[in-house]
Structures are given as C-alpha cells and as structure tokens.
A and B are shown apart, each in its own frame.
Chain A
Amino acid sequence: MIAVEGVVKRFGAQTVLDGVSLAVAPGEVVTILGSSGSGKSTLIRCINGLERLDGGRITVDGLDVADPRQLAQARRLSATVFQLFNLYPHMTVLRNVTLAPEVVLKRPRAEVEAEAQALLASVGLAGKADAYPAQLSGGQRQRVGICRALAMNPRYLLLDEVTSALDPEMTAEVLAILGRLAGRQMGDGGTTMLFVTHEVEFARRISTRIVFLDQGRLIVDLPTARFFADDGGLAHPRIRQFLSKMAPSNTVAGAEVTV
C-alpha cells in the first residue's frame, strides 16, 4: 500500500502540493488527472523520494520515504517510468534494463539478461538489445523505459506522463503495452500502477480509480465509473471544464486493451 497523508510540498513561495492524501492498495490502477502545474508529477516525485516533503508523510508498505534507510528499501518496491525516458545514453538497451537488477538487487547477470531479453521481446524490441538509446525512436525509448522498470519486478509501478513526449502513433504503441500490463495485473495482486497522464480515454479504460488534482489539492477521488458519472466526478465544475478541454485529444490513442 502506498499511503500519502497530508503531503505539503513547496518550491520557494509556491505551494505545489497542499495537503494531499491518497492511498493506493495492491492491485489497483490509479490515475491522477489534472492540468499542467497541478502537482501531479511532483506527487510522483515525492513518492519515489526525489523531492523532500515540507509536510505530511508518505509510506510505501509502511516504509517512510522521508527516512533515508527506509527510502532505500521502499525504492526496491516501486519503479518509475519517466516522461523523458531518462535512459542511460552510454549503455545499450539491454544494459539499461539489466543494470539495476544486477547492481541494486545483486542478481546474477545471466539470469537478469535472460529475463531482460524476454521483456524486450514482449514489447517488440527483441532486435534492439544491442542498440543505444540515441538510435531508437521516442516510442521505442519509452518501451525500454518500461522494461527497465519492470525488470525490477516492482510491486508498484509509477508512471509519470509517459506518453507526453511522444507523437500519437508512438503514444498508441506505448499505451497498448501499458493496457496489456494493467489488464494482466487487475485482480491478481501483481504490479500496482499509479499513473499520471493526459490520456483521459485511456485512463478511463484501464483505471480502477481516478483522482483529480487541482492547484495542489486533491479534489476528487472516485472509482472510474463514478468519476465519469454525471452525479459523480462530472458534477464538479472544475473537472467538467478540464474534460471538455481534453476532448479533442481524448480519443487519440486507439490502444487495444486486451484483458
């Protein structure tokens, strides 16, 4: 369980997260929606320990991320996929995927490499294991980013606007993979996903729950069906306004979700 309790985060005079509370239970796929600057990415960065909290508390399976020792443990439970991929440019695709399992989890190289090859094959990158990130397209890079995260066998997968830097075609290929992942995980207590995205229609299809951040405050936290109900999330004027602006792009990704 990821438990976010009354988290406050400020950058200088600006309060980016203003008392946010959120619980993500195992097996859930929770999407965080909200306009740019609402604090979505900052919330993810607080959970994986990249930002120091100014108030409140975040625990991952009971481990307090504000404590360096506990954070080191917590980081083995979650893995992050980044908006700009953040791959290691000096390493091959295969090495990008195997490095953390080998160095952090101290697993034997042969075993990790075999797993990594299988992961890469499952996202259509079987032939790219020896390529360098700069030789790949954006969509391919992000698929490597997903494999790199999955190679850690994380209990929690944190996805921070993973398609925002991609064109529609590449977005579709990445979302198809995530849809498959979410489908596979639903209900079996596998990887839990916390998902920051602008792909509303996709979020609707794969999420079990949707929360809405507005100016650093979490104003709605509802099961997906309720979020899109007229007397649920849509009753909230701020959300109605947000969704109407998203409308032109919310059907962009024709990603198939095969559960």
Chain B
Amino acid sequence: MRHAGFTWHDGALLAQGLGVSLGLFAGTFLIGLVLGSGAAVVRHFRVPALSPILHAGLELLRNSPVLVQLFLVFFGIPALIHQPLAPLSAAGLTLSANTAAFVYFIAVAGLDAVGRDQVEAARTFGFTRMQVVRHILAPQAAAFAVAPLVGLAVNQLQVTSLVSVIGVMDLTKAGDILNLRTLRPFAVWTMVGALYFAAAKTLTLLGNRWERRLRAHAAPLEL
C-alpha cells in the first residue's frame, strides 16, 4: 500500500467535512431551538393532552444516548416504513429532536424563573396570556436561558461527530478517510480536533457577546 503524504486535496476534504458538520449543527440547532421553545410555551399554557405527551417524549430524548437515537432512526425507521433513509436525513432528524429536548428543559426553567408579580401586573392591564408570553416572559426567559443555551450549542456541535458512524461525510468522517489513506493518525486527529476546537471556541465567543447584550437589558446593575 502506498503511504501518501498530505496533499492540497486533503485540505479541501477537511474543509468540506467541516462545512457539513457546521451546516448540520446550525440547521438542527435552529430547528431544535424553535421546537423546544414551542414545547415550553405549550407546557406554560398547560395544553391538555399535548403538554404531557410532549413532556414525556422530550424526557425520553433527553435521557437516552444520541448514538442510540441515531441508530433507532437510521436503522429502525427504514425497517418500519420499508423505505431507506438517507444518512443526512436521519442525522438531521435525530439531532433536531435531541436538541429540542434539551432546549425544552432550559426554556421551561427560564420561563419559571420570571417573577409572577410582573405577570400579574400585565394581566390586570388586560394583556392576553399570549401577549404576556411575548412581551414579558419570553425576553426575560431568553436572558436566563442564554448561558445554558450557549453551553448546549457547544456540546451539540461536538455531538454532530457521531453522525460519521452512519456514513455522513462530516468532519470526523473526513478525518477517518484521511487517516486510512495516510496512516498518520496522530497528525490527522490533531488537525480534526483543532478544527472542532476552533469552531466551538468561535461559537462560545459569539454566544458570550449575545449573552452580554441580552443581559444588559434584562438585568441592569442592581443598586
């Protein structure tokens, strides 16, 4: 077997993999954010039937390994519907739902953390419950939730590496291919790790800036 050295083509392979990882992360995190927050609002209104069902489902998702969920979706759903599921679709579905579960519990805690007295005041001024959520609860819950959400985002970015096992061509899969060709695992996985680190660190910095901005309005300095 020929031990090839690194070529410019390898850089393109890694860049492509990084693109897939970041795209998958951004897409699934956004969907998870919307679904998880939506579920938290459903719980806030104590919608009969829907609220407990969502809660139970999201609790299951939060308390089982992502890899197991990924296998269940990638191998389990095709077996049920007798239709193959593309790796990227399976990955997108799993990570969106999994993120939604974690966002849900963060959003619920955020909503619960807002003082009841303001809600009462708004109610006496004639705000509907939806208007209270929109103008009073959501902005403050977002400020409470932003720190745990940034933590979650960094974690979910790393978790995308799991999708390589079902054949998605993400950064980890690109590293795997590169490693098999060059047989230089230390160099390859150091590079891959550094790329994940750079992405996660950038995310943290952006998140911190967002947090400062949100908190500046939500909790100005106490006198």
Contact = CB atoms under 8 A, between A and B. Distances in A.
B140 A86 contact: no
B127 A104 contact: yes
Interface in A60-111: 72, 75-76, 78-80, 82, 84, 86-90, 99-100, 103-104
B208 to A, nearest CB: 19
A104 B143 CA distance: 24
B118 A135 contact: no
Name, among B121, B221, B222, B223, the residue most crowded by chain A CB atoms within 10 Å (CB to CB): B121
A212 B69 CA distance: 65
Contact of A132 (B115, B124, B140, B220): B220
B223 A82 contact: no
B121 A86 contact: yes
Given A99-B135, A134-B219, A135-B223, A89 B125 contact: no
Interface in A209-259: none
Contacts of B135: 88, 99, 103
Contacts of B221: 134-135
B126 A88 contact: no
A100 B123 contact: no
A48 interface: yes
Contacts of B219: 89-90, 134
Contacts of B120: 50, 82, 86
Contact of B126 (A50, A100, A135): A100
Given A90-B140, A103-B135, A49 B220 contact: no
B131 A86 contact: no
B38 interface: no
A50 B124 contact: yes
Contact of A100 (B115, B127, B139): B127
Interface string B197-223: 000000000000000000001111111
Name, among B115, B125, B136, B218, the residue most crowded by chain A CB atoms within 10 Å (CB to CB): B125
A100 B117 contact: no
A200 interface: no
A152 interface: yes
Contacts of A75: 123-126
Contacts of A82: 117, 120-121
Given A99-B135, A134-B223, A88 B118 contact: yes
Q: Give the size range of B's interface with the partner.
A: 20 to 34
B122 interface: yes
A72 B124 CA distance: 9
Would you call the interface of chain A mostly helix, strand, loop, or mixed? loop
A63 to B, nearest CB: 12
A80 B218 contact: no
Given A103-B131, A134-B222, A135-B223, A86 B118 contact: yes
Contacts of A48: 124
Interface string B132-171: 0001100110010000000000000000000000000000
B41 to A, nearest CB: 18
Contact of A90 (B121, B124, B131, B217): B217
A101 to B, nearest CB: 9
A232 B138 CA distance: 52
A72 B131 CA distance: 13
A148 B125 CA distance: 9
B127 A103 contact: yes
B123 A49 contact: yes
Contacts of A88: 118, 121-122, 135-136
Given A79-B125, A89-B220, A100-B125, 9 more contacts: A50-B124, A76-B126, A80-B125, A82-B120, A82-B121, A87-B121, A90-B143, A135-B221, A152-B125
26 contacts: A48-B124, A50-B124, A75-B125, A75-B126, A76-B126, A80-B121, A80-B125, A82-B117, A82-B121, A84-B117, A86-B117, A86-B118, A87-B118, A89-B118, A89-B218, A89-B219, A90-B139, A90-B140, A90-B217, A100-B125, A100-B126, A100-B127, A103-B131, A103-B135, A104-B131, A134-B220
Interface of B: 115, 117-118, 120-128, 131, 135-136, 139-140, 143, 217-223
